[in-house]
Structure 1
Amino acid sequence: MDRTNEVKKSLEALARKQVLIGIPDGSDRPEEKGQPITNAQLLYAHTHGIRQKSMREEMNPKVESGEMTYSQAYQMWLQTHGSPLWHSPPRPVLEPAIEHHKDEIAMQLRRVLDVALNGGDPEPELHKAGMMGQNFARDWFTNSANGWPQNSPRTVEKKGSDKPLIDTGELRKAITYVIEG
Structure 2
Amino acid sequence: MFAGFARVLSPIDNTSDLSKRLKELAGKQVYVGVPEGSENNRPTVSGDITNAELLYIHTHGVRRKAMRDEMNPKVEAGMKYSKAYQMYLQTHGSPLWHSPPRPVIEPAIQYNKDIIAKQLRKVLEAVLNGQNPDQELHKVGLLGQNVVRDWFTNPSNGWAANAESTVQMKGSDRPLINQGELRKSITYVIKEGE
Does TM, normalized by the shorter one, top 0.5? yes
How far is 1:158 from its partner?
0.8
Alignment match, 2:5: none
* 1:42 paired residue among 50, 54, 62: 54
Number of equivalenced pairs: 164
Residue 25 of structure 2 is aligned to residue 14 of structure 1: yes
Alignment match, 1:52: 64
The whole-number CA distance in structure 2 between the counterparts of 1:94 and 1:153 is 26
Q: Secondary structure at the match of 2:22?
A: helix
Alignment match, 1:125: 136
Contact 1:98 1:136 in 2 (8 A): yes
The structure that has the greater radius of gyration is 2
Paired AA for residue 101 in structure 1:
N
Q: Secondary structure at the match of 1:19?
A: strand
Paired AA for residue 17 in structure 1:
K
Query: What do the CA deviations read for 1:32-57 (whole angstroms, capped 9, x no partner)?
Result: xx961111111111011111111111
Q: Please, what TM-score do these two structures have when normalized by structure 2? A: 0.77
Contact 1:134 1:176 in 2 (8 A): yes
Query: What do the CA deviations read for 1:91-118 (whole angstroms, capped 9, x no partner)?
Result: 0000110011000000100100000011
Please, what is the CA RMSD of the aligned residues? Answer: 2.4
Pairing 1:26-175 to 2, within 5 Å after superposition:
26=37, 36-68=48-80, 84=96, 86-175=97-186
Paired AA for residue 126 in structure 2:
V
Q: Please, what TM-score do these two structures have when normalized by structure 1? A: 0.82
The whole-number CA distance in structure 2 between the counterparts of 1:59 and 1:174 is 32
* Identical aligned residues as a percent: 60
Structure 2's unaligned 5+ residue stretches are 1-11, 83-93
Query: What do the CA deviations read for 1:109-145 (whole angstroms, capped 9, x no partner)?
Result: 0100000011100011000000000000000000111
The whole-number CA distance in structure 2 between the counterparts of 1:44 and 1:102 is 22
